[in-house]
A and B are shown apart, each in its own frame.
Chain A
Amino acid sequence: MAAFFIRDLQIWVSYRLSLFLDIVGLVGTALAFFLLGLAFEGYIPPMLEQYGGYFPFVIIGIAFFGFQSNGLYGLSGSLREEQLQGTLEPMLSSRITPLSLSLATNTFSFLRTLVRAVLFLVLGALVFSVDLSSMNIPSAIVVLALSLPPFLALGMLSGAFTLAFKRGDPVRLVYGGLSVLLSGLYFPYQLLPQPLQWLAHAFPLTHALSGLRAALLNGASFSEVSTQIIWLLGMGVVLLPLGIVALKLGHRKARRDGSYAQY
């Protein structure tokens, strides 16, 4: 795990311009949503008042959405990159297990996303006057920690498709797209028609963002985010074994077809 972390850090640091643009992008994104919030100030749905307006609502969404992106795309993206660089076969010859590979390829990007999320919050609080004075950090940490296993599991399903079929991964295409629309990333999912609101509950991101908003903006305690905790826990328990099995099957198919190096 440490070897992957150091490797990813070294590669990330080697792209200095990208490092700089990452920070510029972060400020630009926050500013764009702040201005959007200002432009529609009079039209914001009343349910957002509990969060202090549209900007505090959306900044939590964009700050923490990266965890789902990393979980979902991290492993499959990394597998594909390793295939292109020709490093996948030497790596797999070290007999690294599918679970370790999934965790290892995500460790650095999860930490980077955490730093980005904290920077978003600091920027929001210091520059755009988001009120974080009542935030409940332990509740936020628990919600975030419990959202990682389902995100990782979805990434394993996606990685399994990459190994077995190379392209056309439905987890990435369908789930990734729908979750952005339905999970309350840019607007409250309660504004959607009732059937879509029910569907929204099938996405771990919905419960993660709702719990994080409650904990960080309203200071919700463990008991107040218990619904989200139970949803995330349940999703983790169901999806993680599925992800591990799928990844093993993906490896088995790639080994049988001799297609590890194909992309």
Chain B
Amino acid sequence: MTAEDKILPKPLVSVRGLRKFYPAGRRFPWLRSKPPILALDGFDMDIFPGKIHALIGPNGAGKTTLLKILWNLIQPDEGLIESNHLADDDTVLVSGEERGFYYRLNGWANLVFFGRLSGNSRQETLSRATQLAERLRLSGILNRRYQTYSSGERQKLAILRALLQAPRLMMIDDLAKGLDPQATRELTDILLELARDGMSILLATHRLDLAAQMCDTITLIHRGKNIATGSPQKLSQQVFPHRHYRIVLSGDEVTARKILAGSITSDIEIKDGHLSAELVVSDEEELAKLSLTLAQNGISIIELSSLEEELETVYNHLLQDSDSNDG
């Protein structure tokens, strides 16, 4: 058992070697079928309890296929899905689409219908929905017909319906699609709260800013393959192995220039009597050595801040690498 195995809990869901082909159909019955479309190509992934996991990738990468396979609505052709005592109704999928409810019914009637389909009585559904509506700040609108809801209210109602099942894994396809900043913030707050309560959340999204901000783990899927998985920081380090910092110093400029000569990526600026520069080091050890040398030469470090690469830059690099490896 490695040290990492000791730290990580057992995954809630483990996906190994998942492959899925879609039939491409044929134009006429007497013509040969077109080759099938490969949606997932040996996809691997682990989802851990109580964590928010983002699935990012271009359109057609296989995100929705994966979510629907995990929801048991699509049958994989190959591969293994192992879950840690996860029952069928422990998994729910919330779609970012604006459909999925009966337009002529109000919020309560919709919730009661789907609640009863999940095996709960009308009373149980209403009582649970009341509590959840309070928590999601939806109480005021549930008497209105679904057709009058805004996009944000529709997504929140879809989350409320999912929560009626008390799932252990909630999957969201196209998170925050078409939502304004306030509605997005409300939605992300709700998800962070649910994760704090122990729910695992798997988000398929194009919103890289949200993925970087709220997810513990990000998986980049491209052409049906998992091309990178890790925390936003780990992915950044994978693409940019050197660490970038902004350093602000106080002391002699010439000495500082000499010490930092091989490590700075920008010219040293002088601002408010302090020296400021961007620094690149290969690891923490190199940074510690530099700090010590600066201190020994009478230069003190006023500020040291890490300069993380934007997730979008990391994403584009990883996609390009994957394309060039395939090509």
Contacts and interface: CB of A to CB of B under 8 A. Distances in A.
Interface of A: 2-4, 6-7, 10-11, 14-15, 85-87, 89-96, 255-258, 260
B99 A85 contact: yes
Nearest to A95: B88
B97 A86 contact: yes
A3 B112 contact: yes
Contact of B73 (A4, A7, A93): A93
A3 B105 CA distance: 13
B282 interface: no
Contacts of B185: none
A90 B74 contact: no
| Chain A interface SS verdict (over half) | helix
Contacts of B74: 255-256, 258
A14 B117 contact: no
22 contacts: A3-B116, A4-B113, A7-B105, A11-B104, A14-B105, A15-B104, A85-B103, A86-B100, A87-B102, A89-B71, A89-B93, A89-B95, A89-B100, A92-B73, A93-B71, A93-B72, A255-B73, A256-B74, A256-B75, A258-B39, A258-B68, A260-B73
Contacts of A95: 88-89
B161 interface: yes
B172 to A, nearest CB: 13
Given A258-B65, A258-B68, A11 B22 contact: no
Contacts of A255: 73-75
A15 B102 CA distance: 13
A15 B147 CA distance: 14
- Contact size range, B: 20 to 34
Contacts of A3: 112-113, 116-117
B148 interface: no
Interface in B20-68: 20, 22-23, 39, 65, 68
B170 interface: no
Given A85-B102, A89-B100, 20 more contacts: A2-B116, A6-B113, A7-B102, A7-B105, A7-B109, A11-B102, A14-B105, A86-B99, A86-B100, A89-B68, A89-B95, A90-B114, A91-B114, A91-B117, A93-B71, A93-B73, A96-B117, A255-B74, A258-B65, A258-B68
